[in-house]
């Protein structure tokens, strides 16, 4: 019984390590020493050094000039689901086109290195929903919607239909039809 209890406790203590497994991609630029194949390097889509307030301001200005909305994907390079979501929507041609046509899409970093507390407050403290979290802003910088991305998940990825529906429900055209 002691062995089972010890094993259970050890399992529980190591579970958080499994949840934070980094996402890797292959790169021909940095082959591992002694390996003929491509090296695996961590994917980094968030810039930890950027001032998120400035990033958001620039995105709002671009959205205003192009008649689009701003979609902030809040998270960090430490978050495997953040990387997965970004890859999911940029690698699918249909979703990528919807995003490009309707949104100025930015990655707002929050990490130990740069928590961007002021920016997260400006975005309505979206971290309460977990990461990644999507925040839609209008051209005046007002938060229109905060989306908990777990509702868009399916198995170990995202559900195409749910993600597409989310995007189409938060386009400028969809919002203008409500007014």
- Match 């949104």 to its residue by tokens: 103
Taking only the tens place, the pLDDT of each residue in 122-137 is 999 999 999 999 999 9
Structure tokens at 29: 């630029």
Choices 3.65.10.10, 3.40.50.300, 1.10.3720.10, 3.40.30.10: CATH for 52-176: 3.40.30.10
Taking only the tens place, the pLDDT of each residue in 93-108 is 999 999 999 999 999 9
Span 55-82, mean pLDDT?
A: 98
Span 142-153, mean pLDDT?
A: 98
Residue 12 has pLDDT above 70, yes or no: no
Structure tokens at 106: 């930015």
pTM: 0.79
Q: Which long-range contacts (CB under 8 A, 24 or more apart) does 121-125 make?
A: 122/53, 122/56, 123/56, 123/72, 123/74
pLDDT for 16: 45
Find, among 73, 75, 61, the residue nearest to 163 by Cα: 73
Taking only the tens place, the pLDDT of each residue in 31-60 is 455 555 556 778 899 999 999 999 999 999
Percent pLDDT > 70 in the chain is 78
Span 2-21, mean pLDDT?
A: 53
Do β-strands 133-137 and 69-75 pair in parallel, antiparallel, or remain unpaired?
antiparallel
Do β-strands 69-75 and 103-109 pair in parallel, antiparallel, or remain unpaired?
parallel
pLDDT for 30: 46
Return the C-alpha torsion angle 30, 157, 100, 129, nearest 10.
Answer: -110
Span 56-81, mean pLDDT?
A: 98
The secondary element (H helix, E strand) that includes residue 174 is helix 172-176
Q: What's the Rg (C-alpha) of the chain?
A: 19
């Amino acid at each position: 019984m002691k062995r089972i209890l010890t094993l259970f406790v050890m399992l529980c203590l190591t579970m958080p390590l499994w949840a934070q497994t980094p996402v890797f991609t292959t790169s021909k630029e940095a082959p591992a020493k002694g390996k003929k194949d491509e090296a695996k390097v961590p994917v980094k889509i968030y810039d930890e050094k950027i001032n998120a307030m400035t990033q958001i301001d620039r995105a709002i200005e671009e959205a205003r000039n192009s008649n689009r909305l701003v979609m902030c994907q809040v998270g960090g390079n430490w978050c495997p689901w953040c990387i997965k979501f970004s890859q999911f929507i940029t690698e699918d041609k249909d979703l990528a086109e919807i995003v490009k046509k309707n949104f100025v899409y930015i990655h707002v970093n929050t990490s130990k290195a740069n928590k961007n507390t002021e920016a997260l407050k400006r975005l309505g403290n979206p971290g309460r929903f977990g990461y990644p979290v999507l925040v839609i802003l209008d051209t005046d910088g007002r938060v229109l919607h905060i989306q908990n991305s777990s509702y868009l998940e399916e198995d170990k990825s995202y559900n195409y239909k749910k993600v597409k529906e989310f995007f189409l429900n938060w386009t400028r055209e969809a919002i203008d039809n409500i007014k």
